[in-house]
Structure 1
Amino acid sequence: MVKANKYLLILLVTVTTYVLFEYYRPKPIDWSPTYENDDKIPFGTQALFELLPGVMQQSAVKTVRLPVYNFLTETKLPNRSNYIVVCRDFNIDRNDQRLLLRYVQRGNNALISAYDLPDSLGAVLGFKADVKEPTQADTTLRQNFVNLQLRTPTGYNFFHDDGRNFLSIKKSANITVLGRNARQEPVFIRLQYGKGQFFIHNLPLAFTNYYVLDAKTSDYAFKALSYLPALPTYWDEYQKQGRFDEDQQSILRYVRSQPALNWAYYLVVFGLILYAIFAGKRTQRIIPVIEPPKNTSLDFVKTVGQLYFQQGDHDNLARKKIQYFLAELRERYGLNTNSLDKEFTETLARKSGTSLQETAELVRLLRDTQKSISLSEYDLLTLNKAIENFKSELRLSRF
């Protein structure tokens, strides 16, 4: 009993030590670009989201966890407001787009920062999100504002971005370029739509924690947001985190929310527990599965042959091949294989039903192989092919 307690104590100390080590050891930095407003990792957007109320002069910025269509139809909105989306890919369907256009047309503002933007939205507003070939990637490419009051002498370098994304603009009096890269390609534009404005930004990495907290680039995001008026602001998280929070993403969420289904769930669980207790015992002896006997002779022969071949012992393998082939001829046709002469050849051709010419060629090859001092891999393959062809002729002659 003392020994059992001793071993149990050792196990407990070991497990506790491992758990504490895993909990307190430094965690590697996660460089995944999530753009989520509750992520503290370099490419999350928690820093900007927490500072946004001060920029917008609002008490709080509301998070949206609904598709654009649902949000704009189910939410009571103020007369004018801002809608901000920062994500990798901005994905909306036809209904979302229709409601978003109507939202801006009525005098609201939408700032969308994403690498991939829908072509259907660009077709309506007069722009297209383009990307250059991988060979033209440039992590040293600098970005800057067009407005002289906002631009800096050296520009901004977001070196984790490869510099391939830019915006193509159709000629339109309603579009104003707000930011360009060093190639003079637009990356930030303003589009007047009805009474409101769209702000399309093609570099969402600039709004992440890494660049918002870096002294060299920290003011870029706030200068870009300064184009939005100080109005109630909504921050879209549906594009990144989906509709539900982490504690709402259980597959049983709907079942648990309905009283009838919830009681049914508990009854099923309780019933399964009772079944496991009272009816879980095996009522019939397990019938063992008896495998039929296998003929492993052929497998053994193949294995030995492969072993000789892999070791490169072609001479030994060829001579054994001849030895077993002659033994087969003796057993099947009652031939004397001590002398592979003309009489042996004619007898074999007659009894096997093969042509005299083919039989003579095979016997000649067998005789030459027996006389050879050393055989190569090519000789072995030639011999094997001749024997297999002869056996094939025998099988065909039977039908």
Structure 2
Amino acid sequence: MNRKFVLGVLAFLVFVFVLQWNAPSKFVWQPTYLHTDRQPFGCAVFDSLVQSSLSQDYSVTNKTLPQLLSEGKQPRAIMVNAINFTPTVTDLKAMKQLLRRGNKIMLVVHDYRPESRCVDVIPVWIDSYGTFSPRMVQISLQQMGDPMDTLWWADQKPYQKRMFRVYYPLMSGGFEYRKRIECDTLLQYRKLDIELADTQAIQPTTEGWQPKIISMRIGKGTLLLNAVPQLFTNYGILDKDINPLIFRTISQFGNMEVVRTQAYLPKSSSGSNSPLSYFLEKEPLRWAVYLALFGLLLFFVFTARRRQRVIPVVTPPENKSLEFVRLIGTLYHQHHDNRDILTKKCNYFAETIRRSIMADIMADEEQRETVTLITNHTGLTRQEVENTLLKIRKLKDAAKTSDSELKELVDAMDKILNQL
């Protein structure tokens, strides 16, 4: 009963483990932009698909802009992911030098507000007004509203103007301009039915349009500012409507090598949403896990010795064959029935000959062929074989058989059998 109970508990634990293993993981709609995060707003799938789709090299690094500048490589495209992008003066100087050398940099960030002394480097602020929430979409649908809105790709070569349907919370970011700048508007949100030129001087507010991705020339390079960072994630690359928008934006890099840096993401972002990570974040739960592991270790230490009853030594069974032969011999000796012994010996001899050489010694019409077969297989003389078979017929039909005749005939049959 105890064994069945243990097996039942183990089977139940295995069932629960398999059930949890195959259960779909819960989505976490928190942007991390990490290379290892497979949640909607991570970049594990994004990096994999972009790398396999581009003809040029694509890589992910944790190096800062000054470190990328010190590598001194040929001009390349650099994607900077951040949530609250707060670059230092050294970072901004490195960005300016990279742009002057012909590199292309795209800031894919939620918020960017440089210090007043750094406005000359990037005279644009990036503000995000919120993040995506499935609950907001659900409420909008319940109120018979449309949770989606339209983004427009400007008529920038080699692509024509096109609209993209996107959930409105995903494009809540925008720009604030600290001074008049000249730039190209790649992606924009249409508020009113007013056309916007592809390249124009943008004021802090432009009636009817809200740019979402802009491009400006600085030195020999190009700076792209992206106010819709949540589109450039696993969710966006897997969405059939947003996917073309991503590759249209990346095509602005041309054939340059693309490097995406995570150096400006929060250091506490881990991209892990497993139940164990939640336990380790809370101090009481963390110590509970440590105590459970310590108790499990003690259990292994004190119960590792095998517990089993003593296995008895079983003696091998005795060989009774010789005793059996002696018993049978004694019985025949006591009864002294030579005829019965001869009959059984002859039957055994005939059956062995039949199985070995397919000959029947009891068939008179096949006597000559039988003698020939036995002679060929044993190497004995034909006369000797014929005499043995003749004695078998003679003594088998006789009423009595003496001891000497029985011994002589048994020896003759054994001689033939041993030669087969």
Distance 1:240 1:131 in 2: 16
Show the 5 A alignment for 1:211-250: 211-240=236-265, 242=267
* Matching residue of 2:293: none
CA 246–197 in structure 1, closer or farther in 2 if over 3 Å, else same: same
Segments of structure 1 that go 5 or more residues without pairing to the other structure are 248-276, 278-399
- Aligned residue for 1:15, secondary structure, equals helix
Percent of aligned pairs sharing the same letter:
17
* Matching residue of 1:141: 149
Distance 1:166 1:122 in 2: 17
Q: Which amino acid aligns with 1:97?
A: L
**CA drift at 1:236:** 0.9
**CA drift at 1:234:** 1.1
* Cα-to-partner distance string for 1:261-310 (whole Å, 9 max, x where unaligned): xxxxxxxxxxxxxxxx9xxxxxxxxxxxxxxxxxxxxxxxxxxxxxxxxx
* Matched-pair contact (CA < 8 Å) for 1:143–1:180: yes
Distance 2:18 2:89 in 1: 51
Segments of structure 2 that go 5 or more residues without pairing to the other structure are 132-139, 141-145, 192-208, 273-300, 302-420
* Matching residue of 2:19: 21
CA 96–141 in structure 1, closer or farther in 2 if over 3 Å, else same: same
**CA drift at 1:213:** 2.2
**CA drift at 1:244:** 11
Q: Which amino acid aligns with 1:43?
A: F
Aligned counterpart for 2:214 among listed residues 164, 182, 189: 189
Distance 2:210 2:271 in 1: 40
Q: Which amino acid aligns with 2:58?
A: V
* Matching residue of 1:286: none
Distance 2:164 2:130 in 1: 22
Aligned counterpart for 1:63 among listed residues 60, 63, 67: 60
Q: Which amino acid aligns with 2:5?
A: Y
- Aligned residue for 2:212, secondary structure, equals strand
* Cα-to-partner distance string for 1:141-193 (whole Å, 9 max, x where unaligned): 3221222553545x223206254321123554553322221130121111222
Distance 1:231 1:131 in 2: 29
**CA drift at 1:12:** 2.2
* Matched-pair contact (CA < 8 Å) for 2:123–2:178: yes
Relative to its length, the structure with more strand (as a share) is 2
* Matched-pair contact (CA < 8 Å) for 1:64–1:71: no
* Matching residue of 1:35: 33
Distance 1:243 1:64 in 2: 17
* Matching residue of 1:373: none
**CA drift at 1:5:** 3.2
Distance 2:271 2:229 in 1: 24
- Aligned residue for 1:115, secondary structure, equals strand
Show the 5 A alignment for 1:41-52: 41-52=39-50
Q: Tell whether 2:124 aligns with 1:127.
A: yes
* Matched-pair contact (CA < 8 Å) for 2:170–2:228: no
Distance 1:234 1:133 in 2: 27
TM-score, normalisation: structure 1: 0.52
CA 11–132 in structure 1, closer or farther in 2 if over 3 Å, else same: closer
* Matched-pair contact (CA < 8 Å) for 1:144–1:151: no
Distance 2:113 2:61 in 1: 20
Distance 1:77 1:31 in 2: 38
* Matching residue of 2:231: 206
**CA drift at 1:30:** 3.2
Q: Which amino acid aligns with 2:108?
A: S
* Matched-pair contact (CA < 8 Å) for 2:217–2:223: yes
CA RMSD in angstroms, aligned pairs only: 3.5
**CA drift at 1:231:** 1.4
Distance 2:179 2:90 in 1: 27
- Aligned residue for 2:214, secondary structure, equals strand
Q: Tell whether 2:75 aligns with 1:80.
A: yes
- Aligned residue for 2:69, secondary structure, equals helix
Aligned counterpart for 2:85 among listed residues 86, 90, 103: 90
Distance 2:168 2:252 in 1: 25
Distance 1:14 1:130 in 2: 52
Distance 1:230 1:207 in 2: 19
TM-score, normalisation: structure 2: 0.50
CA 81–245 in structure 1, closer or farther in 2 if over 3 Å, else same: farther
- Which protein has the larger Cα radius of gyration, Structure 1 or Structure 2? 2
**CA drift at 1:243:** 10
* Matched-pair contact (CA < 8 Å) for 1:130–1:166: yes
Distance 2:227 2:21 in 1: 39
